[in-house]
Structure 1
Amino acid sequence: MPDSSLHDLIIIGGGPGGYTAGIYAQRAALKTVLIEKGIPGGQLNNTDEVENWPGTEKISGADLAIQFSQHAAAYDLAVLNREVVGIEPGRNHHTILLDNGEKLTSHAVILATGGSPKKLGIPGEDQNYGRGVSYCAVCDGFFFRNKTVVVVGGGDSALEESLYLAKLAKRVYIAHRRDAFRAGMILQKRVLHEERITVLWNTVLTEIQADAQGVNGVITRNTMDGTTSALATDGVFVFIGFEPNNGLVPAGTKMNANGYVIADEKCETNTPGIFVVGDLKEKYAKQIVTAAADGCTAALAAAHYVENKKSGA
């Protein structure tokens, strides 16, 4: 008798990649469950506006996340709101360990755990998280209305969040370690024409200072001449990239030097039946649309894998 508790596919992570995989898995009639420990959409919920999702000129990240969730619900995708604490690969099936002690088994697994914001690693950062230090302007920008903030970074996220904060704060400083941004030209033009934004080129933060009320200043260093300066500020927003959430990646799975999982064109890892999508996967571009594309590819490949497994091929 077949094991009725055995899933065809378990998806870990409810971002764009995970939900797209869920939609395609349901269309392929796979017995599927998506496990997400937070709210649907993942990092999407920290994005003010999305302007590069095809077919939609502009939409908030939170609204797009809701659309992903609703689309998946229309296909009756089972979603479990729990935290996965471990994965045990097996020859016959893979076992997923949950935070409540429960175990789920599946022929195939798609890892869609994304990434987390990188930290500066300077004095005062960890101590003042939530007291003026933030990694999400959409989440915390309201608390800095008519105040002064410093944004650290020079990529798309840093500039997008700076423009969002400029709607609220009286002054936004962007501290960038180089003399040119890495962000797209449209964002660069908007930032450079925004009166409330001042760019501090060739500048890094070396310390975040605070008093009993929270952050009240930073110490900066010029990367060209080494001079240091003090800058008064009410908040520091850090957008210097992401680190892959690879804590659940099974031992023996190939990763690059930066911790991103290496997968083939089917998004399959070197562990048979374990696939990886989105920001956890080694690839050139990390965008919502590429995460969704990964989800589609991985689900179709997983469906083929499961079909062969069941037929004994």
Structure 2
Amino acid sequence: MADTKQYDVIVIGAGPGGMTAAMYASRANLSVLMLDRGIYGGNLNNTAEIANYTGFKSIKGPELAQQMYDGATQFGAEYAYGTVTKVELVDNMKKITTDMDETYLAKTVVIATGSDQRHLNVPGEEEFGGRGVSYCAVCDGAFFKNKHLIVVGGGDAAVEEGVYLTQLASKVTVLVRRDELRAEPIIQAEAMNNDKLEFVFNTSVTEIVGDDVKVTGVKTHNNKTGEDGEMTADGVFIYVGNFPMTSAFKNLGILDDQGWVKTDERMRTSEPGIFAIGDVRDTPLRQVATAVGDGAIAGQQVYQYIKSMD
């Protein structure tokens, strides 16, 4: 344990919430480490445009990620790469282990691991991953210029990314399993005025089909009439919800039956010294703004907790 690096705070996840928590904690003169399994910014890096974050009429996701990182590290917060595999309680400290064979000790932990996108779990989805099946329009949309694309889902992400893809594709068809969209009205209005966007309701994808090289279409089922069909397409973009990235925390007893972290209004979990923020929480809204708000609260609460330990 002698070589194990120690910090006042370890923030697991460097998305908007995690970076905000790191900024607030480091401003309070605490030693802070952000750990992330990828580049800082999280899902911001997969978002073409953000138009609902206060202070910006419109800003590109990666640009906002960089600005947040610059703000988070200006007071001394550090950043390191690694997927956290385990958090253990050792006396009054928390021991964090990563897949990089690194271990760290911290007085407090802020869980900001967020959520990942659900899969349809239909035949062909895994087989054609990277060959026409995608979960990120910003990442892969450029490969489908002047092609017909299918977007699966009816929420904000599905509609927003469908609109984004119309800048590249010749046509985008959005398949919605319900009889209406769940996206915000302002997002729906923009989409409905887009001539290259088509919505097909009451429709589920039952299989993604293709040839030896790439996706060629999907098999569908009409949830109202029971009719099965098939639709040709060059790519399928899937946005059907998220699940929490919390497997490393199952041993702590802080998760609900769906795997979301349970907290109070001060971002405290049932385990003293462990906080959780952002999309990993059981929260009614998962947005950049709410994650940042959670992060600010957690950063201040971490300071109060450590102060009480002295």
* Shift in CA distance, 6/219, structure 1 to aligned 2, threshold 3 Å: same
Asked if structure 2 preserves the Cα contact closer than 8 Å seen for 1:7 and 1:106, the reply is yes
Correspondence for 1:262: 262
**Residue identity matched to 2:106:** S
Matched, 1:34 2:34: yes
SS of 2:168 mapped into structure 1: coil
Correspondence for 1:97: 97
Deviation string for 1:173-232 (max 9, x for gaps)?
000011111101111111111111111111110000010121001011111011011100
Correspondence for 1:64: 64
Equivalent-residue separation in structure 2 for 1:135 and 1:4 (angstroms): 37
Equivalent-residue separation in structure 2 for 1:116 and 1:78 (angstroms): 24
Q: CA deviation at 1:263?
A: 0.5
Q: CA deviation at 1:256?
A: 2.4
Asked if structure 2 preserves the Cα contact closer than 8 Å seen for 1:263 and 1:281, the reply is yes
Q: How does 1:149-164 map to 2 (within 5 A)?
A: 149-164=149-164
Matched, 1:251 2:239: no
Q: What 5-or-longer segments of structure 1 have no aligned partner?
A: none
Q: What 5-or-longer segments of structure 2 have no aligned partner?
A: none
Deviation string for 1:121-175 (max 9, x for gaps)?
1000011111100000000000011001100001100010000001100010000
Q: CA deviation at 1:250?
A: 4.3
Asked if structure 1 preserves the Cα contact closer than 8 Å seen for 2:4 and 2:103, the reply is no
Q: How does 1:147-296 map to 2 (within 5 A)?
A: 147-296=147-296
Identity level (%): 39
**Residue identity matched to 1:73:** T
**Residue identity matched to 1:240:** V
Q: How does 1:11-90 map to 2 (within 5 A)?
A: 11-90=11-90
**Residue identity matched to 2:49:** E
Asked if structure 1 preserves the Cα contact closer than 8 Å seen for 2:4 and 2:105, the reply is no
Q: CA deviation at 1:37?
A: 2.1
Q: CA deviation at 1:287?
A: 0.6
Asked if structure 1 preserves the Cα contact closer than 8 Å seen for 2:175 and 2:199, the reply is yes
Residues paired across the two proteins, number: 308
SS of 1:251 mapped into structure 2: helix
**Residue identity matched to 2:90:** G
Correspondence for 2:305: 305
Q: CA deviation at 1:76?
A: 2.3
Asked if structure 1 preserves the Cα contact closer than 8 Å seen for 2:31 and 2:77, the reply is no
TM-score when normalising by structure 2? 0.97
Asked if structure 2 preserves the Cα contact closer than 8 Å seen for 1:178 and 1:201, the reply is yes
Equivalent-residue separation in structure 2 for 1:308 and 1:250 (angstroms): 27
Equivalent-residue separation in structure 1 for 2:59 and 2:162 (angstroms): 18
TM-score when normalising by structure 1? 0.96
Correspondence for 1:138: 138
Higher alpha-carbon deviation: 95-104 or 165-174: 95-104
Q: CA deviation at 1:4?
A: 9.9
